[in-house]
A and B are shown apart, each in its own frame.
Chain A
Amino acid sequence: MEQRTFTKEELHQYNGRGGAPAFIACQGKVYDVSSSFLWQGGRHQVFHDAGADLTSSLAQAPHGADLLGKFPVVGMLSGD
């Protein structure tokens, strides 16, 4: 299936607020984390918001990118 390419501005719309899906980007991939208990309302552990590229945040997190493997990839983040 062909995957969508998101700009940072487009990704920002998927912030999990007001019923919007919660998408996050990591290492170029965009994941749909809407189903996660830990991403309710588009926020994760107080410090992280959906609708953003969290690659650098994940480097500081107490878990690796492998935890994202259980969420569907909905597209790629453009380099612009």
Chain B
Amino acid sequence: MAKVAREMVEKAGVNVDQLVELLVKNAAAELTTFYYYTILRVNLIGLEGEGIKEIAETARIEDRNHFEALVPRIYELGGKLPENMKDFHDTSACPPASLPKDPTNIKAMLTVLVEAERCAVRGYTHICNLTAGKDHRTYELSLAILNEEIEHESWFSEFLGEGPSGHFLRRGETSPFVGKFMR
């Protein structure tokens, strides 16, 4: 634990135990989404599925990166990950992004993907609101993750006919915002 780092956050008026619990829940959401997106990605096949596969893969890898970036902050603040993987899954801040009953239904697949991203956007907006001006490190990390989650949402929503995302596929490395927390 980073004793003084935690103390500074407490002095700023943040309930650190609650914040840590929220960070663990979001870390669980990231790792479980990485798992569920793996199943979604392998089922994105055929003429329609192939068109979505690449952004699903980018979102999958970046969600895993978010998990990796969150873990150090959880421990710095005196928290820890649950010892039991099932407990970790069940504490997730977002529902399971389960494979639709008909995986050939691309709209159903996209709906699962976009709903998962929307849950994440809400979650990190919440953490940013809680920590703004109080816990600078958690805020900056959450904001970096939020930037990537917003891009993921926009990619998938474009395919659902909700209008242009204004984005192109990632070029080069994944996690342009979160990467600095993983070095």
Binding site for B on A (CB under 8 A): 36-38, 40, 45-47, 60-63
B132-157 Cβ-contact flags toward A at 8 Å (1 or 0): 00000000000000000000000000
Q: Is B14 an interface residue (CB 8 A)?
A: no
Stretch at the interface among B18-26, B64-72, B76-84, B174-182: B18-26
The answer on a CB contact under 8 Å between A63 and B122 is yes
Q: Is the interface of A mostly helix, strand, loop or mixed?
A: loop
Which residues of chain B have C-beta atoms less than 8 A from A38's C-beta?
93-95
The answer on a CB contact under 8 Å between A62 and B125 is yes
Which residues of chain B have C-beta atoms less than 8 A from A45's C-beta?
22, 25, 93, 123, 126
Which residues of chain B have C-beta atoms less than 8 A from A60's C-beta?
129
A-B contact count (CB 8 A): 28
Which residues of chain B have C-beta atoms less than 8 A from A62's C-beta?
121-123, 125-126, 129
B101-142 Cβ-contact flags toward A at 8 Å (1 or 0): 000000000000000000001110110010000000000000
Q: Is B90 an interface residue (CB 8 A)?
A: yes
- Bound state CA distance, A24 and B21, in angstroms? 22
Q: Beyond A37-B96, A38-B95, A40-B90, is A46–B18 a contact (Cβ under 8 Å)?
A: yes
B88-102 Cβ-contact flags toward A at 8 Å (1 or 0): 001011111000000
Which residues of chain A have C-beta atoms less than 8 A from B129's C-beta?
60, 62
- Bound state CA distance, A54 and B82, in angstroms? 29
Name the CB-closest residue of B to A60: B129
- Bound state CA distance, A7 and B25, in angstroms? 32
Q: How far in angstroms is the closest Cβ of chain B from A51?
A: 19
- Bound state CA distance, A6 and B145, in angstroms? 41
